[in-house]
Amino acid sequence: MSTRRNGITDHVNITRGFTGRPRVHDPGLPPGQYDAGDDWPVLSAEVTPDLAPADWSFRIDGLVAEPRTWDWEQAHALPASSYQGAIHCVTSWSKFGVRFGGVSLDAFLHGVRPHGSATHVVAYAHTGYTANLPLADVTGGRAWIVWEYDGRPLPAEHGGPARLIVPHLYFWKSVKWIAGLRLLDHDEPGFWEGNGYHERGNPWEEQRYSGD
């Protein structure tokens, strides 16, 4: 048996005696993923920061007309927006029916007026963690800054007090403890992208590692 991906023929060996979980055809499950059910694994690579809402801030700068920093109250004054749906982690679990509350990233970007030359962003955390994203992936209602999970404050180990979510990409792009976005006219690898992970991380194309 063989499959083709990126023009490379991939010979797959059947594993003797392996049947796997019952096949439930779930159109919401990207290839190679499984439903984690109620679990929500934590996979951050750094120490969880002790960050109070009063010490949190979010800045957008780089290729914008008006760089700006929001504090907790200013961010909360923007129109509320929520995401309800699935999230997909590169380590193979997906989680369905999650509910995040916060503000659409569009509302923040509207305030800084991005230059036409901006094509990518580096999203960074208060810990210094980074992830790169095409600007198009964080605009048009596809990305949020969130501080609520399931109607409650977002737990610190999941990125609280506030994190970025970009749920249509693998979740390492959804930077925890979000501190800011810098808009650039080029792509620049973030933390995992510099450690062998894919530049974009689209779960539907199984873009897990560089070269996928």
Sites of contact with other proteins (CB under 8 A)? 1, 10, 12-21, 23, 32, 34, 39, 41-48, 91-93, 122, 124-130, 157, 179-180, 182, 184-189, 191-192, 194-196, 199, 208-212
CB of 132: closest distance to other proteins in angstroms?
9
Q: Which is nearer to other proteins, 42 or 65 (CB)?
A: 42
Task: Tell me the backbone φ, ψ of residue 122, rounded to 5 degrees.
Answer: -110, 120
Return the number of the residue (71 or 81) whose C-beta is nearest other proteins. 71
Residue nearer to other proteins on the CB measure, 51 or 103: 51
CB of 154 to other proteins, least distance (A): 16
Residue 5 or 77 having the CB closest to other proteins? 5
In whole angstroms, how close is the CB of 141 to other proteins at the nearest point?
Answer: 26
For residue 88, which of 7, 158, 147, 32 has the smallest C-alpha distance?
32
The answer to whether the CB of 179 falls within 8 A of the CB of 125 is yes
CB of 79 to other proteins, least distance (A): 27
Which of residues 109 and 179 has its CB atom nearest to other proteins in the complex? 179
CB of 48 to other proteins, least distance (A): 6
